[in-house]
Amino acid sequence: MNKQIMENIMTEYNKKRLKAAHEADKRKENLYVNIPELEEIEKMIKLTSINLSRIFLTSPENVDEQIKELKEKIEKLKKQRQEIYKKNNIPDNYLEPMHECKKCSDTGYTPDGKKCSCFNRQVISHLYNMSNMVHMLKKENFDTFDINIFSNETYENEKLTPRQNMYNILEACEDFCMNFNKTNANLLFYGGTGLGKTFMCNCIAKTLIDKEVTVLYETAFSLFEIVENHKFNKQNESEENRINYNMIFECELLIIDDLGAEIGNSFTNAELFNIINERLVAEKKTIISTNLSLDKLANAYSDRIMSRVFNNFALIKFYGNDLRMES
């Protein structure tokens, strides 16, 4: 991925706008065939508007009077048109281009110059197409999830069997997806390897992407790599990296998989705090998955990170035997 992505997205917006304009033209053509009177009115409005602008240029003696007269004429014509619309049950905006995104009229930018949410969705979908994520999500989602692979025997000192525990987790994750826009929930998945944490992250990602939520999925390793490239390699930073970096903060859901597998140092600590904190402040949701126990996690990361996590994340423990070892 490179600047090609931006070009592709902009080309798609152009196509959408052209298509909408073309369809509006066709509607107009048909409408005027069926109700020729409307075309007459349209012509008159145009003509009168031209006359009006001429007056401004030439400013004759009785300028105010003429302006008033022409403006009234235009209003009258518009009213006439409106009545015809009403009589024929035609919506007022019938001849306007119908854009897919009403917020930005398929330009990617809202009237106040900000990037539209549909733009971020486009970026994410391109990122996924480029990253093989699409393929993965087809295989790993709530529909392909099999609860029966989890043992129903008690495990160590846990009250619930791994399967019962998994039922609860499943419910919490489905809840998370269902109420995504209503709550401020963040999730921390912790527990050993091969217990379905990544699978569960993928289930959530798939469900929410289908609902057009912008989801960015990164392993902690690649996450810090993106941040490092952004901070220390600004001159040579690729377009891909820049987009990815912005997405870390802008996406509606960030999934950080395998936290603790990266080489931790003061840089990763500071950046992780920044990411978690910025997202909490902006009320954007985050899921963190780690193979570390809570104790080890607390040892590896600063107190201020842990206090953010413990206060704002639902702690979800995965346990049982490594599923990849069995079978």
Nearest residue (CB) to Zn ion, 98 versus 101? 101
Q: How far apart are CA 250 and CA 242, in angstroms?
A: 12
Contacts with Zn ion, 169-208, as mask; x by CB under 5 A: ----------------------------------------
Residue 116 within binding range of Zn ion, rule CB under 5 A: yes
- Exactly one of 9, 101, 136, 306 binds Zn ion (CB under 5 A); that residue is 101
Examine residue 123 and tell whether it contacts Zn ion (CB under 5 A).
no
| Sole window of 10-18, 113-121, 137-145, 201-209 interacting with Zn ion (rule: CB under 5 A) | 113-121
Min CB(216)–Zn ion separation in Å: 19
Dist CA 137 CA 142 (whole Å) = 10
Amino acid, single-letter form, for residue 131: S
How many residues sit in the footprint of Zn ion (CB under 5 A)?
Answer: 5
Say how far apart CA 316 and CA 314 lie, in whole Å. Answer: 6
Which of 27, 73, 76, 103 binds Zn ion (CB under 5 A)? It is 103
Q: Which stretch binds Zn ion (CB under 5 A): 52-60, 109-117, 123-131, 266-274?
A: 109-117
Query: Minimum distance from CB of 100 to Zn ion (Å)?
Result: 8
State which H helix or E strand residue 20 sits in: helix 3-34
Could you tell me if 260 and 291 are in contact, meaning their C-beta atoms sit under 8 angstroms apart?
Answer: yes
Question: What are 212's strand-pairing partners?
Answer: none
Q: How far apart are CA 49 and CA 150, in angstroms?
A: 75
Scanning 53-61, 116-124, 167-175, 177-185 for contacts with Zn ion by CB under 5 A, the matching segment is 116-124
Nearest-CA neighbor of 131 among 26, 24, 255? Answer: 255
State the Cα–Cα distance between residues 283 and 223, nearest whole angstrom: 20
Least separation in angstroms between CB 279 and Zn ion: 22
CB of 112 to Zn ion, least distance (A): 13
Decide: 302 and 269 in contact? Cβ < 8 Å: yes
Spatial CB neighbours of 77, under 8 Å, sequence gap ≥ 6: 41, 44, 45, 48
In 10 A of CB 257, how many CB atoms?
Answer: 22
Q: In angstroms, what is the minimal distance from the CB of 184 to Zn ion?
A: 25
Stretch that binds Zn ion, among 118-126, 208-216, 289-297, 307-315 (CB under 5 A): 118-126
User: Regarding beta strands 253-259 and 186-190, do their DSSP bridges make them parallel or antiparallel, or are they unpaired?
Assistant: unpaired
Cβ-proximal residues to 298 (8 Å cutoff; 6+ apart), any chain = 306
Nearer to Zn ion, 120 or 289 (CB): 120
72 or 212: CB nearest Zn ion:
212
Helix ranges restricted to H, the chain: 3-34, 36-58, 63-87, 117-131, 133-139, 162-178, 197-210, 220-232, 239-250, 266-281, 294-300, 303-312
> Between residues 102 and 324, which has the closer beta carbon with respect to Zn ion?
102
Q: Which is nearer to Zn ion, 7 or 75 (CB)?
A: 7
**Does 118 interact with Zn ion (rule: CB under 5 A)?**
yes
Q: Which is nearer to Zn ion, 38 or 215 (CB)?
A: 215
- The residue (of 106 and 140) whose beta carbon lies closer to Zn ion is 106
Q: How far is the CB of 106 from Zn ion (least distance, A)?
A: 7
β-bridge mates for residue 309, sequence order: none
Which CB atom, from 7 or from 72, has the smaller least distance to Zn ion? 7
Q: Is the dihedral of CA 233, 256, 126, 97 positive or negative?
A: negative
DSSP three-state, residue 315? strand
Between 213 and 297, CB nearer to Zn ion: 213
Q: Which residues form the interface with Zn ion (CB under 5 A)?
A: 101, 103-104, 116, 118
